[in-house]
């Protein structure tokens, strides 16, 4: 019984650290309205629009949509952000173009061989939020070579950020390489 209680307590602490991260992100889909930009001073970075595909390392990433919502639902679960916050849900297709299976957005990034994501909004960075038990999430998803998965990347952001921000960028980093997508929020009421 003590082991069960300690295990539950440890999981609660891990969950609270992952959701209390200062990650804020707001995304929305505007079909092909933003232009693609390239930073001439840094040849390792590229910027794309929602619905554009970009490759970073062995990952091909396509952002399909982005929404700001109040709750995320999963068959028998419902996830809500902290009071005053909202979730930014980014739907993406991810393909492993490498020769080995790899984890997409692992819990911990060690070294230069794993990918991470952050949402940059008004010069503030937000890390993706892991919702334990959320089946549509892409965090920690292992993808075999030549396979692709569709799913959501979720960020918890302050509610005013989700409503007021017009300058958002989703940035993926793998080693020294980065790729980024300009994000435009589609603010929804309710949940998905």
Residue 141 placed within a domain: yes
Domain assignment present for 40: yes
Domain contains 96: yes
User: 30 versus 13: which is more confidently predicted?
Assistant: 13
| Six token digits for residue 159 | 């509610």
Q: What is the pTM of this model?
A: 0.70
Three-class SS string for the chain? CHHHHHHHHHHHHHHHHHHCCCCCCCCCCCCCCCCCECCCCCCCCCEECCCCEEEECCEEEEEEEEEEECEEEECCEEECCCCCEEEEEEEEEEEECCCCCEEECCCCCCCCCCEEEEEEECCEEEECCCCCCCCCECCCEEECCCCEEEEEEEEEEEHHHHHHCCCEEEEEEECCEEEEEEECCEECCCEC
Question: Is residue 139 one of the residues assigned to a domain?
Answer: yes
Residue bearing the bigger pLDDT, 45 or 106: 106
- CATH label of the domain that carries residue 132: 2.60.40.1240
* Within-domain flag for 192: no
Q: Using one digit for the tens of pLDDT, what is the confidence trace for 133-179?
A: 899 999 999 999 999 999 999 999 998 877 666 678 999 999 999 99
Using one digit for the tens of pLDDT, what is the confidence trace for 68-103?
Answer: 899 999 888 899 999 999 999 999 999 999 999 999
Q: Which residues contact 192 (CB under 8 A, 6 or more apart)?
A: 67, 69, 71, 72, 73, 89
φ, ψ (nearest 5 deg) of residue 97: -95, 5
Q: How many folded domains does the chain comprise? A: 1
Cα distance between residue 120 and residue 26, in whole Å: 9
Distance of alpha carbon 78 from alpha carbon 192, whole angstroms: 10
CA separation for the pair 129, 176 (Å, rounded): 23
Instruction: Tell me which of 113 and 152 has the higher pLDDT.
Output: 152
Q: 36 in a domain, yes or no?
A: yes
Q: What are phi and psi of 62, to 5 degrees?
A: -125, 125
Residue 179 domain boundaries: 2-187
């Amino acid at each position: 019984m003590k082991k069960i209680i300690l295990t539950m307590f440890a999981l609660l602490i891990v969950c609270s650290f992952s959701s209390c991260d200062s990650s804020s992100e707001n995304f929305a889909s505007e079909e092909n309205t933003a232009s693609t930009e390239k930073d001439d001073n840094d040849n390792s970075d590229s910027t794309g629009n929602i619905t554009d595909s970009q490759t970073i390392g062995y990952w091909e990433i396509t952002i399909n949509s982005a929404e700001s919502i109040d709750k995320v639902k999963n068959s028998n679960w419902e996830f809500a952000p902290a009071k005053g916050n909202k979730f930014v849900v980014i739907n993406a297709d991810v393909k492993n173009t490498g020769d080995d299976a790899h984890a997409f957005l692992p819990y911990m990034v060690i070294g230069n061989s794993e990918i991470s994501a952050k949402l940059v909004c008004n010069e503030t960075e937000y890390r993706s939020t892991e919702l334990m038990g959320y089946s549509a999430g892409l965090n920690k998803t292992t993808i075999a070579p030549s396979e692709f998965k569709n799913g959501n990347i979720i960020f918890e952001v302050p509610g005013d950020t989700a409503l007021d921000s017009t300058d958002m960028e989703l940035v993926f980093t793998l080693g020294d390489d980065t790729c980024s997508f300009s994000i435009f929020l589609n603010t929804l009421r309710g949940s998905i």
